[in-house]
Structure 1
Amino acid sequence: MDFIRLVVLYGLFTYVSAIEPFSTFGAIGTAVLAGLYTVYGPVKCQFKECCTSTWINLNSTALQDELQSKLYGQHLVTDVIIKHLKAHMMKDPSKALTLSFHGGTGTGKNYVSKIIAESIYKQGMRSKYVHLISSTKEFPHKDMVPLYKDKLRDLIETSVKECPQSLFIFDEIDKMPPGLIDTIKPYLDFYEQLGGTDYRKATFLFLSNTAGDAISKHVLSNWLNREDIELKEMEHIISKATINTKTSGMYHSDIIYKHMITAYVPFLPMERRHIKECIKDVLVAQNYYKRKDIPEEDVRKIANQLNYFPSNEEIFSVTGCKRVPEKVSYVMETDED
């Protein structure tokens, strides 16, 4: 029915223009164009991504299921992510949601970012409203900070004007040139409008290895009571380490001093038992086994290919689950030979 209306409106516009193109365009032509937009707009958004609830809508159930079933050893992550996203997406937020992920390599920071994108955007990480910014790729030269600041402002302002519910993922923010991150401070504040644009519905994720050592040290001291570690104590450890680490992109940042971070999210070092669960997921994903048929011996052999710390006890994986896929391929292909 919408297609028929579109054809009729287009025909009317063509007919009117042919009779008296200039005088009639102002009255009837404008009305026809308005009709075309009214019909074509919704039709277009059925097939092409738009900034509407059809394409952007938090599926909190899917988010919770993914985090609980696929994220290992991170009991502090699931609750804080779900609660803050639900509060931000389902209400009128007072400021942009800003979550700062901290932890060592392979503990799940990028993985959780991907889960978040897929639970909100129909197109997931491929959505044109999801912006992944790699600090090492986009900001490699410390002497070009003024240029980078303009580039960053333009990206955020252009993106949010197009879609208020834009998501910005800053990977390896600890490698960002000092001072650059404060460029985005105004967009994280409580302003109802900034230059005519409301930035409060946007979401910012900061991914960093900063404070990874401090997190690991604290978890090692509380290893036997790992599940009793609370978010509040970890947030204090993270914020202190982040603002005082000279090599961090957040060193003495106003974003921290002015309390622009909604929550610091700690990703704890992963134990061998957590690594084994990652190994099982990869074995299934690479079609070596169905999960119920996975031999424990294969899991053990793959887990032994990874390095652990501290050296005298070998409790935590040095690289988390990051190197699991390549170790799975190595061990399984070797066994087949």
Structure 2
Amino acid sequence: MKAVEIYLLLHLILTASVLVNTFDPITVTVGVISNLWQLFNTHERCDSEWISFNAEGLRADLESKLFGQHIASRVILKAVNGFMSDDNPQKPLVLSLHGRSGTGKNFSQLQQWIKGNATNCERSMFIFDEMDEMNPGLIDSIKSFLNHYKKLDGVSYRKAIFIFLSNAGGEVITETALDFWKEGRNRDEIKLIDLETSLSASAFNDINSGFWHSRLIDDNLVDFFIPFLPLEYRHVVQCAMAEMKAKGLEPDQDVAAELAKDLIYFPKSERVFSVQGCKTIEKRLYHYID
């Protein structure tokens, strides 16, 4: 896939998931990060005329499309803004996004795919979905691309962004959020430091994870392990309101509340977190509209 096709794919992810397909928080985040680049047409070019960093667009999308994820929003905004403002970064930006609910190519194919795209455009973005489905050891084949090398075989990877999506650590995230809820503490008090070490360890020690005993973790090449918290009832209401707006309907708080109330929550007795987040909102919405 050529660099321009990656940008087009990200653009389509953003527009297709508009607010809801949504609301799988990690999918939404991958979509809004596409605002790093503005694609003006399908002619393959890699310069400031065609690709421009839109910091305010990223901020606005994180605020309007990512509900209940204060840690992810803050970390991603600061990390990406800082990285894109640096004309001479020493290594690529590497983000690993973790939360509850691709098969890997072989080693040489994976390496050639990355090298080919970075050759075309140094500001390429590479997204590795379903790390849990990737064979352990495969991801280590790209270790050299994530390191501090100025160039590898004449190609620089320092301005690229690598994003890994994983379910590893989902239980740790849920347990932490539930503990805060039981203690009567606001979930906004949860900080990255409360979860990042556990997420790193969970991914590294999970034999079903593509990060199992990975040198990427061992050599500290992942810049941030970012947790996505399970969504509560109020976040589902926000999702429903946003979906109505996206469909050109007048947002109705009563409709959103009724829809959110009928979803399945866990733990069963407390009904704190939505089992499916907001994934089913789009399909269920018209059932509640007169």
TM-score using structure 2 length: 0.81
Q: Helix, strand or coil: the match of 2:127?
A: strand
**1:181 aligned onto 2:139:** yes
Task: Mark the runs of 5 or more structure 2 residues left unpaired by the alignment.
Answer: 1-39
Percent identity of paired positions between Structure 1 and Structure 2: 38
Q: How does 1:94-243 map to 2 (within 5 A)?
A: 94-105=90-101, 135-136=102-103, 139=104, 148-223=106-181, 224-243=185-204
| Other-structure match for 1:74 | 69
Q: CA deviation at 1:324?
A: 1.3
Residues of 2 paired with 1:227 and 1:221: CA distance? 13
Q: Secondary structure at the match of 1:199?
A: coil
When the two chains are superposed, the root-mean-square deviation of aligned CA atoms in Å is: 1.6
1:46 to partner: Cα distance: 8.5
1:312 maps to which of 265, 269, 272: 269
Q: Aligned equivalents of 2:158 and 2:259: distance in 1?
A: 45
Greater shift in the superposed pair: 300-309 or 195-204: 300-309
Q: Aligned AA for 1:272?
A: Y
| Rg larger in structure | 1
1:61 maps to which of 46, 56, 63? 56
Structure 2 residue aligned with 1:323: 280
Matched residues in 1 for 2:49 and 2:223: separation?
27
CA contact (8 A) 2:67 2:235 kept: yes
Name the SS of the counterpart of 2:186 in structure 1: helix
Aligned positions, number: 247
CA contact (8 A) 1:104 1:320 kept: no
SS at match of 1:165: coil
2:256 to 292, 299, 324: 299
- Which structure shows the bigger proportion of residues in helix conformation? 1
| Aligned equivalents of 2:234, 2:81: Cα separation in 1 | 31
Contact 2:264 2:274 in 1 (8 A): yes
Distance in 1 between residues matched to 2:203 and 2:91, nearest whole Å: 22
Kindly state the Cα deviation for residue 47 of structure 1 after the two structures are TM-superposed.
Answer: 7.7
- 5+ long unaligned stretches in structure 1: 1-44, 106-134, 140-146
Q: CA deviation at 1:286?
A: 2.1
SS at match of 1:222: helix
Q: Which residue of 177, 190, 208 maps to 1:247?
A: 208
Where has structure 1 moved over 6 Å in runs of 4 or more? Answer: none
Whether the 8 Å CA contact 2:233–2:261 is kept in 1: the answer is no
Aligned to 2:21: none
The one-letter amino acid paired with 2:60 is: D
87, 96, 113: which one aligns with 2:82: 87
Secondary structure of the corresponding residue to residue 303 of structure 1:
helix
Could you tell me which amino acid in structure 2 is paired with residue 256 of structure 1?
I
Measured after TM superposition, the shift of residue 225 of structure 1 is: 2.5
Q: Give CA deviations for 1:201-227 in whole Å, capped at 9, x if unaligned.
A: 110010111111110001100123311
What is the DSSP-based 3-state SS (H/G/I as helix, E as strand, rest coil) of the residue aligned with 1:218?
helix
Residue-by-residue CA offset, 1:277-308 (whole Å, 9 max, x unaligned): 00111112223x323xx1x3311221133211
Structure 1 contact 305–327 (Cα < 8 Å) conserved: no
- Aligned equivalent of 2:18: none
Aligned to 2:12: none
Mapped partners of 2:170, 2:204: distance in 1: 13
Corresponding residue number in structure 1 for 2:246: 285
